[in-house]
Structures are given as structure tokens and as C-alpha cells.
Structure 1
Amino acid sequence: MIPAHLGAGAALGALLIVVCCIGRVIYNLYFHPLASYPGPLLNRATRLVYCYRLVTGRLSLDVRDYHERYGPVVRIAPNELSFACAAAWKDIYGHRIGPHGTTSELPKNPDFYLLKGQEPGILATNRENHAMLRRQLAHGFSDRGLRAQESLIGAYVDLLIQRLRERAVRKPGTDARFVRGQVKDGKDEEMGSDAPLLSGLAGSDAPAPPRFDMTQWYNWTTFDIIGDLAFGEPFGCLENATYHPWVLTVNNTMLRMASQNAVKYMGLGWLIPLLLKFVITSRREHIARTDEKLKRRMQLSFERPDLIEGLLKKKDEMNLSWSRLRTTASSLIIAGSETTATLLSGATYLLCSHPEVLRRVTDEVRSTFASEQEITLTSVGNLPYMLACLNEAMRRYPPVPIGTPRVVPAAGMQIAGYDVPEKTVVAVWQYAAYHSTQNFREPFEYRPERFLHDPKYENDKIEVLQPFSVGPRNCLGRNLAYSEMRLILARLLFNFDIELADKNSQWLNQNAYIIWKKPPLEVYLHPRKVE
């Protein structure tokens, strides 16, 4: 039996915990500096709901609904505000003039960006270190650097088109053969598998074309490109038509970060090594593979116009530790591949779901270029309708749907006209802002013409769309991403007629963690018959 005095002590301890929790809830609801800001009751009272919805992948969608109910600023956690207005971008993420005339910025929220035991790279480091790293990386992302990388990027897009052609089949009635193997008696000789009949094309007994999971193909392409640009070698995804283990580790780690952050938000970061061993394992694999690739890149005996050449030249002068160099290179890989592939996947689905838009952008590509050789990183800048399609895809399906949090400094500040006290976590939640009826007419419709001065959408607040952020921490790879996306999409539309394999697909119905958890995007690719 438990001694009476111990039982009484345990009961008293439990009672004190309950009283403290109740007291904290009362404080958060009625006496907290953010008590006057609107938001759902449970979110204002405790972080529990926020964390639960975060780990289930629904928080970004919830925040959108909160803004529709409560307006442009919402208290989504006891100490956190979400903004859904254009003015908040500059106030939260832009340059600020400090008390002595110096330029400063809101610090990043360490609970979101920092991982225990890891030196911060370019994404999480302080303002001074960030500026130093960015200066050395800037040349690789400049227009001049982009032109120097054109042949390298173009070679991987060539390989993408080649791999797709090898696996494609023409529309029934034009060519009933798989390019990769002759079809006889309903079988692909090379694959040795039964070829199913087309179900959606009446009167045709031609074998069905293969389905292409463009989620995979885009990921393979962008990871190979950024791998070569950052490490001097690709991951071999396109060459082998499969994921490299390192790429899978990166994707899995990104998706699991939501659970890790939820633990930290609850003040239990010290439990991560015990509760999230699978994250630690992925992290170790990621570190080991990054070290291996970075060492091989540094052993090259010649200069190459890639993204980290400038950083490697100055690493000793900057006293850049191996850990920080590794973390920065890793950040480039993630930021320069996953987000680009995500946007291309979303754009492809949206185009295929809107045949009239797909037809118009395809006509633009094919009427602008007489041959594939004319389609370059530079020439794709002459496709205004495609740019509108990509911008609208970024609005409907932002690659980073969450808000990237900052912390209000001492003495507080004004954000979008609202007085915000110190230590408040603030962010513009992209999915919420881009789907707000306060910012866009028909926010859930895919309408590229809203970016082409269509009078119907003249009241849209286009300036709220900032997928690459703003200010001193905006995305360094913006020009590279736009050029890469337009080049890949233009080459794809020039070579193939595209259609969804499942006409009833609800592909956009996804969970959003730090990034979206993308399902397969299956399409038919019909090689274009050029007369």
C-alpha cells in the first residue's frame, strides 16, 4: 500500500497542477497582453489545439477559416497572431529602422527555426551572419550566374523530356506503340506486362498509355538540378528514374518537422530525443550524406559556376565552421528543390483541371517557339500567360502554406496598423492570406487572368501574394525558381499533350505540415505529333 502521507502529497501535487493550468487559461483569456485580439476560444486559452491541428496537417486550413470569421488579424495561439493583409508583409519581414537609425529586422522564432545541437545555417542565423552568407551566395543566384548555369540546367531538362518520351505512347489512332518497347498482342515486350485497354476513349482497342506520376518526375528533376548546382553532382534520380535515399530522407524530415515543432511549442523540447527517435535517425542520415557530398564538392580542383563557389572561396576568411557550411548547403538543397517541384505539381494539376487555360498556355508556348532549341532560361521570359498561370498556381497552392514566424522586439510595434506587444509571435500565413475573400475575388477559383489586369479582378489585392517573402530575408533563389519552372513547363507543353488520368481527382485536398504532403499526380502524356 502507498503510505497515506505520500498519497496525500501526490493528490496535492496533482491539484496544484490543475490549479496552475486553470490559472494559466484564465490569464490567457482575460489578462494576457493579446487578450483583446479575436480568435477561437480554445486557441486563445492554450497551445494544445494549435499543436494538435499542426501535427494532423490541418492548421493552415484552419487559419484561413479563422480569418474569414474574425478578420485580417487573428490570435491563433495564446502568444501568436496571424495576419492576412498585404501591409503586414513589410512590417513583419521588411527592413526596420532601429532606435539609433540602424537597420534591423524582427528576429526569427527560435522554436520554429532552431534545432538543438545544430549550428544555424543561412535560414536560421542572426542578421549579421545572414548578410555575410548571402553576399557570398549572391553571385550564384544573379542573372549572370544564372546564364552561366544555363547549359547545366538545360541538360537535366533534356534528360527529363528524354525519359518521359521513352515511356510515353501516342494517342490512339496515331501510334499504338510504346516508345520504350513494341506492343504486340496487348503486351509491352520490354516490360512483359499486360497492357490495359483505354477506358475513356470509346471505339479504341489501342493499349492504354502509361500513367506518369508528375509529383515524382518533378521532384527527381529539381533535386538533380539543385544537387549539381550545390554539390557538383546530381542525385541520379532522372538517370535511374527513382528516388535517391538522401532525397527521401530530406522529404521525410521536412514532413516530420511539424511534430517536432509542436513538442517545442509545448515547452517540451528536451523530450524530442526520447519521443522522436525517428527524426533523430533521419537527421543523422541527412547529416552523413550531406557531409559526403560536400566533401566531394570541395575536392574539385577547378572552379565551377555553381551556387556555393563563392561561399567555399571565403569559408576560411569568414571562419565558417563545417557544421554551418553543411547546414547552409543543406538549406539550399531543400529550398531549391522541394518548393519548385511542389509548385510545378500544383500548376500541372490546375492546368489539367482547366482545359481552356491549358489550351491557351500550350498555344502560347507552341506559337512562340518553332523548335525546342529556342526554349531557354532566357527565352521563357517571353511567355506572359505562362507567368500568370504560375503566379495563380502559387496563390492557389503556395509551396509553403504556413506562416514563417518572427518575434516582436522589446517595446512592441505596430503591424498593419495594430499595436502588437513585445514577445508576440507574428506571421503572414500564406494559404490563409491567398484564400481570403478580403483579398481576392473567387479565392478558390483558378483564374490566371487576375494577373493580366482583367477588370473583373481589379479589386484583388495582388500585393498580398509574396511566396518568396520580402525584405532582407526574402528568397535568394527567386529568379532561379521562376526560370526553372518556366523552362520545365514550356518544354513539357511543347512536347506533350497532357491530361489527368483521373478526371475526378481532388489532388489539392492535402494535408499541410511545413510543406504539403503531396499524393501522386497521375497524368497521361501524349507525345505531340509535329508535322
Structure 2
Amino acid sequence: MSNLFKLSYVDCALDPDHLATGLRIGLTIACFSQYCTCVIVHRIYIHPLSRYPGPELAKISSLYSIYHAWRGDRHLDLLRLHGKYGSVVRYGPNSLSFNSPHAVSAIYTHDKNIAKTSFYNFFDLNKTTKHTQSIIDKHSHGRRRRIISHALSEKVLRGMEVRIICHVQKLCNALGHGSSPVSNVWSDTKDMSLWTLYYAIDTITDLCFGYCASTIDSPINRDIAKLIETSSQKALICGLLPVIKILGLDQILYPLPSSSGGKSFIIHNQKILAQRLKSEINAADKDILSYLINAKQDQDNGSLFLSSELWAENLSVSPGSETISVALSATLFYIVHNDDSHQVLNAEVRTTFNATNQIRLGQRLESCEYLRACINEAMRLAPPVPGILPREVECDGVYIDGFPVPKGTEVGVSAYAIHHNASYYPEPFLYNPTRWIRSKDSQSDGIDLAHFAFCPFSAGTRGCLGKSLAYAELSLALARIVFVYDMRVEPDQFRIQSPAEERDFGRHKTMEYKLRDAYIGMKCGPNIQFKSRMIDDHDSGDQQLH
């Protein structure tokens, strides 16, 4: 029986068909191995970017960057790489990361020969409808930007001030609920990563659509926050690895919230847009949508916004709520964890204003230099968009920070990495608001350099159009919170880190506000308690409890 088996096996092995199949498999493996070897050798030693330092794996495959994007620590890895390799790092086969203010200027400000990459296509509402932040064509972007800039001008912002203050008041009421200065009772612990996001969502939706999501007052629409986070993560990963979108895997990896709140909110706002397009604009409508609907025909091509474009523009502002939330949460984190800064800020705000109704946009608020410095320093340490905003070099002969960059190369600057560069920010991990304040003893060169390297809102013609609006929302909210409440970290709060987290670069610092890079920064905490202050309202003569 065994001899018969041996003969059958030998006959099978010597069969021409089996030999041909085995030969084909062997040749396929050999060819694939040879191809991989050639690709590796080319990318490491022959590629136009071979002169630039970086991890060997990053030079070979974009999977290196995708892995860190999936982990949410790409900004931390870029900081580590720049610390190891210098001001320019090759972090992908065809990608360079720079770490200097001159590179920020060259890439984002003076971008004549540099354009957005196809990465931004994954931020579109759909295949046919683009918004200003995702448009790659410079001419189309310029047309949109000119129109939207009018809707976000200082004059328009003044008209929206009362609405912003209304949401600030709602936030303050929610934060201090149950506290009492008389009986020395503190509020329940509030996770400020959530409450600041509710404030930002309510404000943004009100100013954009003329309809408030009411997430501060009600939990019905609060899954909008999850919608923003999931959409951002999906766009980042699909932008880096488009095959995920092509195969439809994005719906499996990043499913949208199953609850109906976020979906019903979107449907409701679509109905509002349809109604507003059919009716005449009321003079009382002082939201961004009214300015877009009233936008004049562009002189270049005479085209108006399509209804789908109006919807895309308004909806694209929603991620801006996460930007404001990160900045405000980070500022509160560093204030409650730094007693000296907390005391200086309290003194400035509480001596500048005598009543809550005095906290408005204008000279008094602008005179609060330390308040603005606290916000800037928090955004330096925890930039709302911590990773790279990619751009593509359109022609040969381009130099960035003195380095020649060939056509087709993807370039960018990580805000987190440059904000922690000791060349521009001495003691980069120290929260020090005074580095932004000019004084007789300070060196103006250092402050100018700090501002030069500061890019939490990106820079240039592609920078954030809502920068003034963001500072208004942040300043009004922070000033009122500090004026109305005493704050403290939740007693006995201690966050236990896993052994793996303690080993991760940049995650081991207990006094740093940690972000997860999902294009926009994702965060948790701080957990803060509030206690109302007894305030003498000099304007009205009434003593108020807030």
C-alpha cells in the first residue's frame, strides 16, 4: 500500500500540469520579490528624495505614516523624527516634513508653485460638491474665499456678538449648576472636552444656520460631536490610503453614529436651507447663511453659489467647533494646573471688568493681554490641528527652507512639531503665557520669532477664515468663566496610564494636555469643578450670584 502511494505521489509530482503550476507560482513569487527589491533600492538610494533623512520604513512605504495616523500619534512621531533628523524629514516615499517658520511661509503663505493635494477630496460632502476648505483649484478657491470672507468680516462679527454672548451665558449656567459661594458648595465635575464642544457646536450652528443645535440644554443632538469626530478620522485615513474608500471599507471601519440625533439635525438644516432659498432674506437674519445667499455674482465668471454649494459651505464650518473646543479645553487645563497663571488671569479679568455685562468685544477685552496670551500658549502646546496639512509642489526649481524639492513632492509642517521646537520656544513643554507678552525686560526678537512660528490656524490664503470668530468665541467664554467662577481640578483626580502608554513617546507627560491626531485634535478632559463667586454688579447696583 505504501509503495502504491509513493508511486502515485511521484507520478503526480512529475505530471506536466503540476510542474507548470508550480513553476508559475515560483516565477510569480520570484518576480514579486525582485520587484519589491527594486522598489526598495530605488526609494532608498535612487529616488529624488533619497538625500533627505528619515526612518527607512517611511522611505519605503506610506504604511509608516498610515500606521501612526491610525494610532493618532502622527504629530508626536513627527516631533520625535525632527528631534532626531533635523529640520527636514522624509516621512513617506514622496513626502517631506519641515519644521521651521520659513517653511510655513514658503508652503502655506507664498504658495505660488505649491497646491493642495488630492488628500482634501475626502473632505468633500460628496463627489460633485466641494467646499472652500477642500477645493484644490486656486482660481475656484479664490472666488469662494472672497465671498465667504465678507460673511466672516469684523463688521459681521460685531453683529453676531449678542448671539455669541447668549451661548456663553448658557455654558456658564450649565458649568456652575448647583454651586454656591455662600455654603462653599462646588459644582459636579464637568468633562470640559464635552462642554466646550457643546458650546462651540451651539454657537457655530446658530451663527451659520440661524438654528441652534441646543446641545448645552439637551442631549438630543449631542451625537453631532461623535459625527464630527468620526468624519474627521475617516477623511484622514481615506486621504492617506484611498483604497479604503474605493473598496467601501470606510463605512465598516468608521460607521456614523447609529442614533438619530445627528442625522435628524442634518435633515432639519437641509430643510432650513431650502426654506431660506425660497424666501427673501430678512434684515434680522444675521447669520453666515444669509450673507452667502446674498452673495453678489463674481465678476470673473458671473456664477452664484449653487444650493448644494451653500449647504457644503455651511456644513464645512462644523469641524470648526472642534477647533474651538480643543483651544478652550486646553486653556482651561493649563490654567487649573498652573496656580501662578491662574492667579494672574483671575486678577486681570476681575479688575478689568466690574460686571458680567461689561464682558463684550471691544477695547476692554482687547486690553486683557494675559487672557489672550493664555489662549495662544494653550494653542501652542495643543494646536487644534496638530498634524500636517499636506501640499504638493507643482513644478521643479522650488526651494523650501533652502532645500530643493522636486515636482510632485508632498510637503507640509506639523503645527505640534514646530510649536515644540526649542529654537523658537525655549522650554517648549512649559506653559508660559508671558512668552507672548512684550515688556521692557523681554526681548522683542524672541516674541516676534514665536509669532512667526505660530500656526494653529494654518497660514496664507488657505488659512482659517474664521480666525477672528474663533478668538471672539474663545475670549468671551474664557473671560466670563474666570470672572464668574472659581475653578479647581477634581479632588483626588489621578489618571492611571497603561504601561504601553507610558512607553509611548510624548504620552508619558502627565502635565500635558494630550491630543489624538485625527486631522483635527481629539481630546479628553480636563475634569473641573466650579464654584460661583459673589459679584457686586456696579453697573446695576445689584449684588448677583453667578
Same fold (TM over 0.5): yes
Partners of 2:227 and 2:275 in 1: CA distance: 25
- 1: CA distance between counterparts of 2:401 and 2:198? 41
d(CA) in 1 for partners of 2:292 and 2:329?
31
Unaligned runs of 5+ in 1: 97-103, 178-207
What does 1:23-422 correspond to in 2, within 5 Å?
A: 23-96=38-111, 104=112, 106-114=114-122, 117-125=127-135, 126-165=137-176, 167-170=177-180, 174-175=182-183, 209-240=187-218, 243-264=221-242, 268-269=243-244, 271-274=246-249, 276-279=251-254, 281=256, 289-290=265-266, 292-300=268-276, 301=279, 302-303=282-283, 304-314=285-295, 318-335=303-320, 337-378=321-362, 379-422=364-407
Q: CA offsets per residue over residues 313-349 of structure 1, 9 Å max, x none?
A: 24886243443332221111212x1101110000100
Contact 1:381 1:483 in 2 (8 A): no
Once residues 120 and 237 of structure 1 are traced to their aligned partners in structure 2, the CA distance between those partners, rounded to angstroms, is 27
Amino acid at match of 1:441: P
Q: How many residues align?
A: 487
Give the match for residue 525 of structure 2.
520
Equivalent position of 1:473 in the other structure: 462
1:245 shift after superposition? 3.0
Correspondence list, 1:455-494, <5 A: 459=446, 461-462=449-450, 463-494=452-483
Q: C-alpha separation between the residues in 2 aligned to 1:29 and 1:155?
A: 58
1:31-71 residue CA offsets vs partner (Å, 9 max, x unmatched): 01011011122212221221111111111101001111111
Higher Rg = 2
Q: 1:236 to 1:315 in 2, by over 3 A?
A: farther
Pick which of 210-219 and 455-464 moved more. 455-464
8 Å Cα contact 1:290-1:326 kept in structure 2: no
1:446-479 C-alpha deviation (Å, 9 max, x unpaired): 0111111365775463110121222111111111
Alpha-carbon distance in structure 2 between the residues aligned to 1:117 and 1:318: 20
Measured on the aligned residues, the alpha-carbon RMSD in Å equals 2.6
Residue 138 of structure 1 deviates from its aligned partner by 1.6
- Which has the higher mean CA deviation after the structures are superposed, 37-46 or 399-408? 37-46
Change (3 A) 1:84 1:477: same
Counterpart secondary structure, 1:237: coil
Deviation string for 1:337-373 (max 9, x for gaps)? 1101110000100111101101101110000000000
Cα deviation for residue 120 of structure 1 reads 2.1
Higher mean alpha-carbon deviation, 4-13 vs 395-404, is at: 4-13
- Unmatched segments (≥5 aa) in structure 2: 1-11, 496-509, 537-546
Report deviation, 1:274. 3.3
Distance 1:279 1:111 in 2: 17
Aligned equivalents of 1:511, 1:410: Cα separation in 2? 34
1:118–1:323 contact (8 Å) kept in structure 2: no
- Paired with 2:252 and 2:63, the residues of 1 have a C-alpha distance of 22
Equivalent position of 2:25 in the other structure: 10
Q: After the TM superposition, which residues 487-506 of structure 1 pair with which residues of structure 2 at under 5 Å, given as runs?
A: 487-501=476-490, 504=494, 506=510
Go from structure 1 to structure 2 and tell me whether the alpha carbon gap of 1:421 and 1:324 turns closer, same or farther (over 3 Å shift): same
The amino acid of 2:369's aligned partner reads P
CA distance in 2, matches of 1:168, 1:3: 80
Correspondence 1:429 to 2:429: no
Report the equivalent of 1:187.
none
| SS of equivalent to 1:273 | coil
Per-residue CA deviation, residues 349-406 of structure 1 (Å, 9 max, x unaligned), is 0111101101101110000000000001224222101111111111111010011010
Write the distance in 1 (CA, Å) between the matches of 2:293 and 2:484. 39
Aligned mates of 1:130, 1:169 — CA distance in 2: 49
Distance 1:146 1:459, change over 3 A: closer
Contact 2:58-2:91 within 8 A present in 1 as well: yes
Name the CA shift for 1:272/1:402 in 2 (closer, same or farther; >3 Å): farther
The percentage of counterpart residues that share the same residue type is 27
